[in-house]
Chains A and B, each alone.
Chain A
Amino acid sequence: MNRINKLFQEKKNILSIYYTAGYPGLNDTLKIAEELELAGADLLEIGFPYSDPVADGPVIQASSKEALDAGMTLQLLFGQLKELRKTVNIPVLLMGYVNPMLQYGVDNFCKSCAEVGVDGCIVPDLPMVEYEELYMDVFKKHGLTNIFLVTPQTSDERIRKIDGLTTGFIYLLSSSATTGQNLQVSDQTEAYFSRIAAMKLDHPTMIGFGISSGETFDKACKFANGGIIGSAFVKSLDPQDLKGSVHRFVEKIRG
């Protein structure tokens, strides 16, 4: 069984952490992965930076820009992750925008992912139709899963379609928003989470966007298999004390 399915079978209250490859230091990518696993994260989403990240708020825009300015490229990232599976056992996803992936070549990209032991991808601006028609076979050939996003405005019909296409989990956005805002669970959000739960989907769900504290993480766990934290983690990274800042952050969330 692959690492992602195994994780969801074995664990509850899953903590997934997003961070940008090449930030705060160009060569911190693997080190952060290792420390996150030691600190108790269950799943990693490593962002490959893009110059025009339209779905991201200011924190991830800034980390992406710093990483790119420092020289981060997909080629370099796969180099940094070459030894990933010597030290990191938890599942790892790559997250980024479609254009860098297209330039690298989708087949090549999937091949490189498989070679270093990456388990799947999240590509917010790769549409479902194009994925299904052009790229799904390539992903499958290399044993990769593709994770899709769902917002409160996504129709049930479309959620069913996503449930049929993914092989991992479904990424529930707490609201239609760019990354980095605070999760506010209103009656409406609660109704949306309950609606999804009542659909009895084949795949587990994770709630992301706007989770920043132990309290918001606990809320996510109440409605889904776990929560995803991005901006709050990226903001907390201290280049002077990388290891310490990673551990302090995870402890704060896990409580």
Chain B
Amino acid sequence: MSYFVNEKGYYGDFGGAYIPEMLYPNVEELRNSYLKIIADENFQKEFHELLKDYVGRPSPLYLAKRLSQKYNANIFLKREDLNHTGAHKINNTIGQILLAERLGKKRIIAETGAGQHGVATATVCALRGLECVVYMGEIDIKRQAPNVARMKMLGAKVVPATSGSKTLKDATNEAMRDWINNPVDTHYIIGSVVGPHPYPDMVAIFQSIISEETKKQLLEQTGSDQPDYVLACVGGGSNAMGMFYHFLADEKVKLVAVEAAGKGVDSGHSAATTALGKEGVLHGSRSILMQTPDGQVVEPYSVSAGLDYPGIGPQHAHLFKSGRGEYVSVTDDESLQAGLLLTQLEGIIPAIESAHALAYLEKMKFTSHENVVVCLSGRGDKDMDTYMKYFDL
């Protein structure tokens, strides 16, 4: 079975480009050019130079010894938190800004939840001198204030999304509306492996650097480039897809995707998409999403703004349905505790998103000496307010 996109833009039953005609020329332009542009030698050179000298790649693969002892396995952390701007999101925005330049676009728009993708977009726009507008849910603007300030300082205009649940889903709607109204000079940098084809594939390609490096680093450190398990959290699914990408074809490597259960899968306050969702169309692709029987999108909930999204990317829907990936979830409480545990055992404060992946270690049974890679997608600076309130620090 293929886990990659086919020529029609589908992964099994999922994907496609369910967009209004107003977006068709833009999406078609991307579809026709993205692979050619990315494969270009000059693009590759510039992309890899920036990843190295600006982002600080390769990010370390760190064997977390005290965590390994606790769980009786070799636990490696892929340190995306050490990237410039503090998360994996910048791998994608570097790629897309270079692509936007080659398409002759002058104006960049983006949506953001936690603010990490917004910051990563504002950063590359400052770097390349392009106009930047970031849509962010009104509620997220309040709970991620430091990132809002960073975006503003970087010169981006932050526009509150005031419709619907006022979170990531609505910010995405507003960004799409902006793109409809600015069809010629604007490029939309989507922040995850969601949206109409070719976005899920394009973002996955840019994030695949995570597993590309991991394989090399594992080989150096363990003598084998094949781990037993790979874990990552899933909002839309970009850090997970980057972490899974070069392991997809190797069925011996078990892929574990951790969703946000919020206050519990059945609590009515959750973002566990595969547990609660059904097949449908959201933001331009056919995937799995949380919805009412009438097909209205349900407002998700998670303590973590980056995972507070009612869908997952179409490639994840395919991995889930085909059984290639195991899709699980952990609650707010479990992830905050896992965040504290990592901090105290290893001296690393993780983003609450990434803490979801760590929290699932608690529920796994290892038979010792298994090699486990966890994608530490981001650092916890932006979440200090939440940690402080929760742990009364």
Using a CB–CB cutoff of 8 Å, the interface residues on chain A facing chain B are 50-55, 57, 61, 65, 68, 73-75, 97-104, 124-127, 129-130, 148-151, 153-155, 158, 173, 176-178
Contact = CB atoms under 8 A, between A and B. Distances in A.
Given A52-B164, A54-B20, A100 B180 contact: no
Contact of B293 (A57, A103, A158): A103
**Which 10 A-B pairs give the minimum distances between C-beta atoms?**
A103-B295, A100-B295, A124-B20, A149-B21, A176-B183, A73-B294, A51-B296, A153-B25, A55-B20, A54-B176
A130 B16 contact: yes
A103 B173 contact: no
A176 B183 CA distance: 7
Nearest to A101: B295
B19 interface: yes
B62 interface: no
A220 B1 CA distance: 52
A51 B164 CA distance: 7
A54 B27 CA distance: 15
B291 A52 contact: no
B296 A100 contact: yes
A195 B86 CA distance: 51
Interface residues of B, number: 34
A53 B184 CA distance: 22
Given A73-B294, A125-B20, A153-B183, A102 B280 contact: yes
A150 B280 CA distance: 25
Interface of B: 8, 16-22, 24-25, 163-164, 169-170, 173, 176-177, 180-181, 183-184, 278-284, 291, 293-297
A176 B181 contact: yes
Given A75-B294, A102-B281, A153-B183, A55 B22 contact: yes
B19 A127 contact: yes
Given A151-B183, A154-B25, A127 B177 contact: no
A118 to B, nearest CB: 18
Nearest to B26: A153
Contacts of A124: 20-21
A149 B22 contact: yes
A54 B173 CA distance: 5
B281 A98 contact: yes
8 contacts: A52-B164, A74-B294, A74-B295, A102-B281, A102-B295, A103-B295, A124-B21, A173-B21
Contacts of B25: 151, 153-155
A227 B173 CA distance: 27
